[in-house]
Amino acid sequence: MAVSHQRPAHVAGSAGPAHAGGSAGPAPADSIATATGLRKVYGSGDTEVVALDNVDVSIQRGTFTAIMGPSGSGKSTLMHCMAGLDRPTAGTVVVDGETISSLNERQLTKLRRTRLGFVFQAFNLIPTLTAKENITLPVDLARGHVNQGWFERVVDAVGLRDHLGHRPAELSGGQQQRVACARALITQPSVVFADEPTGNLDSVSSREVLTFLRQSVDELGQSVVVVTHDPGTAAFADRVLFLADGAIVGDLPSPSVDSVIEALRTFSERSRARASAGGASGGASGGAGGASGAASAAARGAGDAR
C-alpha cells in the first residue's frame, strides 16, 4: 500500500532525475555504512544465483535512505550483507568504521546487538512483555543500563507514552511497529535497517511508522535504511537507490512519489529493452518481467496515495 507524504522543509525541493549508474559512488567522509565490490552468490552450478554483482554503496550518516527494485533484484540481500545478517561472497562492508566482513560470528552478533537496529515486516515483539519491556529488551539482554534521557526522547518521538504498560495484543499494528522501531533505536545504533517495515500496515499506520522513522533522522540524528516496494514509503527518504538484477542502476536524491514512479518506469523500460535485445541474463532472478511488474505496481500504488 502506498502512503503520500509531505516532505520536510530541509529535504524539499525539486527532485532531479535519478542518476543511473553501476555504483552509488565512493565513500564520502561522513559515510556511516559502505559496501565496496559487494558480491553475493547463492548456490552453485545450475542453481547458482548472483544476487549481488559488484555493488558499491555508501550511506551517509544522519540520513534516510530507501532501497527499491523489482522482486528478486537483491534488495534484502544487500541489506542483510550490510547489516551483518549474511556474509558476502566477496567485497567489503564497513559500518561506522568497523569492517564487518572480517568479523567472526561472535563479534558480528555483538555488533548487531549494540550498534545496529532492525525493523522487520513482522513486528517480532515478545507477546508476554509490555511495550516498555519490549523497547528496552536489547539493553536488558546485553545487561546494560537504559539511558533514561534517551528512552524518554524515543518514547516521546514514538508517541506511545500512554501505552507503555500495554502488551502487543492490546496495541494496533501501527503501534506495535512503532514499539519495534523504538526497540531498534534504544541502543542509539549507528544504523537502523528496516525491511518492508510497513508491509503489514494500513495506510494510516504506515504513515505513523514512517513519520517516526523520519523524525528519528531529523530530530534524533539517526541513520535509517529502508527496503521497500512502495513509492509512498520511498518518498519519506532523502535518497532512493534502485537495484536491478543485483546491481545499482539508479540513485535519486530528494525523492517524491512521482519522481520515484518515473524512475521505476525508466528502469523497467531499460530492463525490457535489454531483455528484447537478448542481453538480460545471468543476474538475479526477477529481471525484465519483475522490473515491469514493479513499475505497474508502483503506478497502482500512486493511485492509492492520491
Ligand X SMILES: Nc1ncnc2c1ncn2[C@@H]1O[C@H](COP(=O)(O)OP(=O)(O)OP(=O)(O)O)[C@@H](O)[C@H]1O
Q: Which residues contact ligand X by CB under 6 A?
A: 42-43, 49, 51, 69, 71-77, 284-285
Min CB(93)–ligand X separation in Å: 15
Decide: residue 39, CB within 10 A, 0-12 exposed, 13-18 middle, 19+ buried: middle
Min CB(252)–ligand X separation in Å: 17
Q: Which is nearer to ligand X, 79 or 154 (CB)?
A: 79
Q: Which is nearer to ligand X, 73 or 216 (CB)?
A: 73
Name the DSSP class of 229. Answer: S
Nearest Cα residue to 71 out of 239, 271, 259: 271
How far apart are the C-alpha atoms of 155 and 164, rounded to whole Å?
Answer: 9
What residues pair up with 195 in beta bridges, in sequence order?
120, 227
Q: Which is nearer to ligand X, 75 or 214 (CB)?
A: 75
Q: Which is nearer to ligand X, 82 or 179 (CB)?
A: 82
Q: Which is nearer to ligand X, 69 or 173 (CB)?
A: 69
Lookup result for grid cell 558499491: 56
Please report how many Cα atoms fall inside a 13 Å half-sphere around the Cα of residue 204, on the Cβ side.
Answer: 3
Min CB(77)–ligand X separation in Å: 3
Min CB(67)–ligand X separation in Å: 8
Min CB(188)–ligand X separation in Å: 27
Name residues whose C-beta falls within 8 Å of residue 208's C-beta, 6 or more positions apart in sequence: 159, 174, 175, 178
Residue 248: count other Cβ atoms within 10 Å of its Cβ: 29
